[in-house]
Amino acid sequence: MNNTAIAPTPAEGWRWKQPSVIPGFGIAFGYTIVYLSLVVLLPLGALVLRASEVGLSGLVAVAFEPRVFAALRVSFGVSAVAAVVASIFGLLVAWVLTRYDFPGRKFVDAMVDLPFALPTAVAGIALAALYAPNGWVGAPLAALGIKVAYTPLGIFVALVFIGLPFTVRTVQPLIADLDRELEEAAATLGASRAQALRQVLLPPLAPAVLTGLALAFARAVGEYGSVIFIAGNLPFVSEIAPLLIVIKLSEFDYTGATVIATIMLALAFVMLFAINLLQAWSRRRFGHG
Amino acid sequence: MDIRVAGISKDFGASPALRDVSLEIKAGELVALLGPSGSGKTTLLRVIAGLERPASGHVYFGATDATRLSVQERQVGFVFQHYALFKHMTVAENVGYGLRVRPRDRRPSRAAIRQRVAELLDLVQLGGLGGRYPAQLSGGQRQRVALARALAVEPRVLLLDEPFGALDAKVRKDLRRWLRELHGRTGHTTIFVTHDQDEALELADRVAILNNGRLEQIGTPDQVYDAPASAFVMSFVGDTTSLPAIVDGGRVRLGGLSLDVDVAASKDGPAQLYLRPADVVLTPGDCGGGLAGTVAGIRRTVAGRRAELTLDATGTRVEIEVPPQQALSVGDRAAVHIVRGTLFEDRA
């Protein structure tokens, strides 16, 4: 044995804080907790507290009121479909913006973020005007018998619009990092372009696509401004849950409003948690860095 | 499979990467493309693989002209410097990839693929690691996975781009010997790119030396080392010192001395005399008969010691290998006897 003795390490156990060379754990952690409490937990807590006046059975009863149930179904159902479609489009947009050089690329790249910046009501009015039965896009579609504005399809269009930037921005850096050699390796092994794309290039992007999907979905569920102008807001058909909350508020039914809000919160949490699990799985499956 | 490259030229933008390169590689040969960075060696390898299209010239695989064939059609095994393993696939999935993507009529059965992958992993001494992901392997292991993946498709030629470039010296040496053995067993026609002269000389049957997009020389390691075709080959392969000399009437004159060096191939006029460290003998003290100088520095090398001598006559420095036991220190006077040397015309 020519090694010098190594000092025995203390028994491994759970520790409040791992030793680290990065300073400021205390202040950073404290600030995070305070900030999260004030900005996120406190308002949400107050919301749940107010809603708890009706009890758990009351919550369930409200959730299954026909009009509320229909609105929740529209909100979550259309949001889910819109988030999936926005992610697929977003992936395509990110691919084109990253992999190809064309005149006006920087311009298009900047344009992707416009749905973030535009006041949502403006987007809603613009979309409603375009897709109305006498609008530029609505008229030809109406001639084919497809009605977009004032139907759930209209809500879908609005939600795809606001959800698009999320996946573009989460996936873009990963596409930029894709190693050219991976494609070349696949080609030397005999893989066609389509095979290389599907089996080699896209799988590593899955975690980022799911992140974008979760963000787009969360945004879509809570979206109000752009939707109400194009949705037509017909109860049982194209009425969204956030609108129902606003209606309750204007009737001074604060408890009723918080009850619907709490139900939405719970549903959204469950769905986002599910997406997160899926993402964790995809990271394990595809993310071996 | 014989590989023949004829008159390949290629440029990137304004700078030529390859200028009229022609070479022939016999079936089963292990050939090194050696050159400094920017010499075009990797570009030549990529042209053979079909990853780059040459501006002019042809690539032949056996009797067929492969110049217009796509990468997929060429059936080459290519190993990239940074491995280019698919990170989301296990080692076994990586190795079997080339078999799984074949069209159905040529694709082996699942069981056959599994068997072939297991054989290849044994061949590269990674048996039992098929279930791991590339991130869980060391650099040398990843390189071997990349090699197994390239061999899986039964390539007509195996192309390796700086195969050991990213590995440390010890692993490099082991892999080098191992690759030599593997080549002996499988007999694939193999071309590898390197900037490491030791690697090229030790591993290859023949070495092709490139500089500035041109093929300077191709030959066995002995030929390129002992009979370099140009001053570039002389100075790139092995250590050399050069001294300005004048060829005059069949004699080489250097700083007032007349040397007994073979000058048959040289015209009269200024020339450079290239010396390998072993071409000169150092005698301590101010005895006559050689080029006198002062020891300017002594460095330890793996094999022995190397002295730097400043010559009185020309003021230039020569590096000379001395036995480790010879007493010598900085500032000592010494004389150099030139045993042999190689003359090239002065390019300046």
More confident residue, A159 or B305: A159
A251 touches chain B (CB under 8 A): no
What is the greatest pairwise CA distance in chain B? 81
Average pLDDT for B324-335: 81
Q: Which residues of B touch A181 (CB under 8 A)?
A: 80, 82, 84
Calculate ∠ Cα B6-B8-B11, nearest 5°. Answer: 180
The DSSP 8-state label assigned to residue A278 in this structure reads H
Co-location of B143 and B83 in the same domain: yes
pLDDT classification of A87: cutoffs 50, 70, 90: very high
Query: Inter-chain contact B149–A189, Cβ cutoff 8 Å?
Result: yes
- Mutant choice from B74, B87, B89, B113 vs A, greatest count of A C-beta within 10 A: B87
Please provide the average confidence, as pLDDT, over all residues in chain B: 87
Q: For position B269, what pLDDT does the model report? A: 78
A4 touches chain B (CB under 8 A): no
Co-location of B66 and B131 in the same domain: yes
Q: For position B25, what pLDDT does the model report? A: 94
A194 touches chain B (CB under 8 A): no
Co-location of B163 and B201 in the same domain: yes
**Partner residue opposite B76 with nearest CB, options A188, A192, A285:** A188
**Partner residue opposite A288 with nearest CB, options B88, B98, B101:** B88
Q: Which residues of B touch A189 (CB under 8 A)?
A: 97-98, 101, 149-150, 152-153
Q: What's B314's domain CATH number?
A: 2.40.50.140
A284 touches chain B (CB under 8 A): no
Q: For position B241, what pLDDT does the model report? A: 82
pLDDT classification of A13: cutoffs 50, 70, 90: low
pLDDT classification of B250: cutoffs 50, 70, 90: confident
End-of-domain residue from the set B192, B214, B235: B235
Of residues B274, B281, B318, B313, the one with CA closest to residue B296: B318
Co-location of B175 and B26 in the same domain: yes
Query: Inter-chain contact A184–B84, Cβ cutoff 8 Å?
Result: yes
Query: Inter-chain contact A182–B77, Cβ cutoff 8 Å?
Result: no
End-of-domain residue from the set B235, B262, B281: B235
Cα dist from A190 to B70, B82, B109, B143, B257, whole Å: 10, 20, 17, 20, 64
| Closest residue of chain A to B159, computed from CA coordinates | A188
| Closest residue of chain A to B146, computed from CA coordinates | A185
* Tokens read off for B17: 């990467």
d(CA B335, CA B291): 5
Q: What's B76's domain CATH number?
A: 3.40.50.300
A188 touches chain B (CB under 8 A): yes
Q: For position A3, what pLDDT does the model report? A: 47
| Closest residue of chain A to B81, computed from CA coordinates | A181
pLDDT digits (tens, 9 = 90+) for A67-85: 999 999 999 999 999 999 9
Q: For position A14, what pLDDT does the model report? A: 64
User: What beta strand segments (E) does chain B contain?
Assistant: 3-12, 15-25, 30-34, 56-61, 64-65, 76-79, 157-161, 190-194, 206-211, 214-219, 241-248, 251-254, 257-259, 269-275, 280-284, 291-300, 305-311, 317-322, 333-338, 342-345
* Tokens read off for B39: 């010499």
**Partner residue opposite B71 with nearest CB, options A188, A203, A287:** A188
pLDDT digits (tens, 9 = 90+) for A17-48: 677 777 888 888 899 999 999 998 999 999 98
pLDDT digits (tens, 9 = 90+) for B122-145: 988 898 899 999 999 998 899 999
Give the distance from residue A171's alpha carbon to the nearest chain B alpha carbon, in angstroms.
Answer: 17
pLDDT digits (tens, 9 = 90+) for A204-215: 898 899 999 999
d(CA A94, CA A87): 10
Of residues A198, A261, A281, A271, the one with CA closest to residue A43: A261
Q: For position B348, what pLDDT does the model report? A: 45
Number of A/B CB contacts below 8 angstroms equals 71
Co-location of B245 and B231 in the same domain: no
Q: For position A72, what pLDDT does the model report? A: 93
Of residues A279, A95, A283, A86, the one with CA closest to residue A183: A95
CB count in 10 Å sphere of residue B108: 14
Q: For position A15, what pLDDT does the model report? A: 66
Q: For position B334, what pLDDT does the model report? A: 84
- Mutant choice from B101, B105, B132, B162 vs A, greatest count of A C-beta within 10 A: B101
pLDDT classification of A16: cutoffs 50, 70, 90: low
Co-location of B227 and B255 in the same domain: no
A193 touches chain B (CB under 8 A): no
Co-location of B175 and B51 in the same domain: yes
For chain B, list residues whose CB is within 8 angstroms of any CB belonging to chain A: 49, 51, 70-72, 75-78, 80, 82, 84-88, 97-98, 101-102, 133-136, 149-150, 152-153
Query: For chain A, which domains are there?
Result: 28-286 (1.10.3720.10)
| Closest residue of chain B to A200, computed from CA coordinates | B86
Co-location of B202 and B290 in the same domain: no
**Partner residue opposite B87 with nearest CB, options A184, A187, A204:** A204
Cα dist from B230 to B209, B211, B253, B271, whole Å: 10, 11, 21, 13
pLDDT digits (tens, 9 = 90+) for B22-81: 999 999 999 999 999 888 999 999 999 999 999 999 999 988 999 999 999 999 999 998
Co-location of B140 and B282 in the same domain: no
Query: Inter-chain contact B75–A182, Cβ cutoff 8 Å?
Result: no
A12 touches chain B (CB under 8 A): no
Give the distance from residue B176's alpha carbon to the nearest chain A alpha carbon, in angstroms.
Answer: 22
Q: Which residues of A touch B82 (CB under 8 A)?
A: 179, 181
Whether the per-residue pLDDT at A10 is higher than 60: the answer is no
Q: For position B347, what pLDDT does the model report? A: 60
Q: For position B16, what pLDDT does the model report? A: 78
Whether the per-residue pLDDT at A226 is higher than 70: the answer is yes
Task: Give the SS3 label for residue B334.
Answer: strand
More confident residue, B222 or B340: B222
The number of folded domains in chain B is 2
End-of-domain residue from the set B197, B213, B235: B235
Instruction: Indicate if the alpha-carbon torsion angle A94, A95, A98, A100 is positive or negative.
Output: negative
Whether the per-residue pLDDT at A258 is higher than 60: the answer is yes
Co-location of B111 and B259 in the same domain: no
d(CA B323, CA B6): 47
CB count in 10 Å sphere of residue B155: 22
The listed range with the strongest mean pLDDT (A134-138, B56-60, B234-238) is: B56-60
Query: Inter-chain contact A188–B134, Cβ cutoff 8 Å?
Result: no
Q: For position A1, what pLDDT does the model report? A: 43
Q: For position B141, what pLDDT does the model report? A: 92
Co-location of B305 and B210 in the same domain: no
Co-location of B86 and B129 in the same domain: yes
pTM equals: 0.79
Give the distance from residue B179's alpha carbon to the nearest chain A alpha carbon, in angstroms.
Answer: 20
Question: Which domain range does residue B315 map to?
Answer: 239-345
Q: In this structure, what is the dihedral angle of CA atoms A250, A251, A252, A256, given to the nearest 10 degrees?
A: -100
Q: For position B218, what pLDDT does the model report? A: 95
